Amino acid sequence: MTIVVTVKVNDGIVLASDSATSFVNTEGQVVKVYNNANKIFNLVKGCPIGAMTFGNGSIGTASIATLSKDFRAKLTDPMDPMHLDLQTYTMRDVAARAKLFLFDQCYRSEYPDGRPNNYIGYWLCGYSATGTLPEAWEIEILESECTEPRSIYDPAPYGPRWAGDTEALDRLVLGLSSRFTEALVDMGVELDLARQIRSDTAGRLYADLTLPAMPIQDAIDLAKYLADTAARFSQFSLKAATVGGPIETATITKHEGFRWVARKHYFSSEFN
């Protein structure tokens, strides 16, 4: 799995992720974890648009990182049908293009009949061309289907969001294990009622950690803290450590655009 975190405030949105990438077999069992994957991407250099990925780290032989750079090339090529008009685009447009490229063109070509136990999440974060507040949109590839783009900040418009291996942050922020609903069902509670109890209980126990006017530096600190907490939890869990490696962070603000805060390199800047 992995952990990806966003923290949205008035002045921008912070992206944070670990660096673990897990390889699973067709039964969904983790067979290998590497701790140097890239999961945060600047999609249009000079513009306030970025992306994050979680779940399966590749489509066929191409990593999601490489495919994201291929996608970036399409967005910025005036001759490509996916070219983005920087004067009029919306973040929903960007998410729709991501679905067209990653799923319709890449995934379906590689797996015409789908792939068992496969899951890829992709978040598109940033500002629409005429937008005043940051947005975050999600697409999910599940075996043989892909969801339509949806906003991850509806209905609550601010604060942290996370995906991947959510157990640690579900417990920390929501006050509930991600297995809470399953536990209620095992105790004999009907599924729909168990889901309602979870929703009501999480609303009562939710830990408020942000204000809309939180400065961007504090939002950075919070995003790093949440990602690191998930990684530490995974380190000591008696399961495969599917969250780990360096924590990378970036910010997207209206006027500064996409900016790296912490980033790993496999090469030395001294020689490059």
Percent of the chain at pLDDT above 70? Answer: 99
Q: How many distinct structural domains can be found in the chain? A: 1
Q: Where does the pLDDT of residue 236 fall: very low under 50, low under 70, confident under 90, or very high at 90 and above?
A: very high
Say if CB 257 and CB 231 are below 8 A apart.
no
Residue 113 belongs to what domain range?
Answer: 3-262
- The answer to whether residue 37 sits within a structural domain is yes
pLDDT at 72: 97
Q: Per residue in 45-83, pLDDT tens?
A: 889 999 999 988 899 999 999 999 999 999 999 999 999
> Is 272 inside any structural domain?
no
Q: How confident is the model at residue 96 (pLDDT cuts 50, 70, 90)?
A: very high
CATH of the domain at 76: 3.60.20.10
Residue among 40, 35, 93, 34 nearest 251 (CA):
40
pLDDT computed for residue 21 by the predictor: 85
Assess if residue 62 is contained within a domain: yes
| Mean of pLDDT values over 179-184 | 95
Q: Is the pLDDT of residue 262 over 80?
A: yes
Length in residues, the chain: 272
- Domain presence at residue 151: yes
Task: Give the pLDDT band of residue 23 (cuts 50, 70, 90).
Answer: confident
Question: Can you read off the two tokens belonging to residue 79?
Answer: 């001759």
Strands 40-42 and 135-142: unpaired
The answer to whether residue 269 is domain-embedded is no
Residue 240 lies in a domain: yes
- Is the pLDDT at 9 greater than 80? The verdict is yes
Q: What is the pLDDT of residue 240?
A: 83
Q: What is the mean pLDDT of residues 169-192?
A: 96
Q: Is residue 140 part of a domain?
A: yes
Share of the chain above pLDDT 90, in %: 84
Confirm whether 271 is domain-assigned.
Answer: no
- 257-262, strands of its sheet edge to edge: 159-164, 3-9, 12-17, 248-253, 257-262
Q: What is the pLDDT of residues 103-159, one digit of tens each?
A: 999 999 999 999 988 899 999 999 999 999 999 999 999 999 999 999 999 988 999
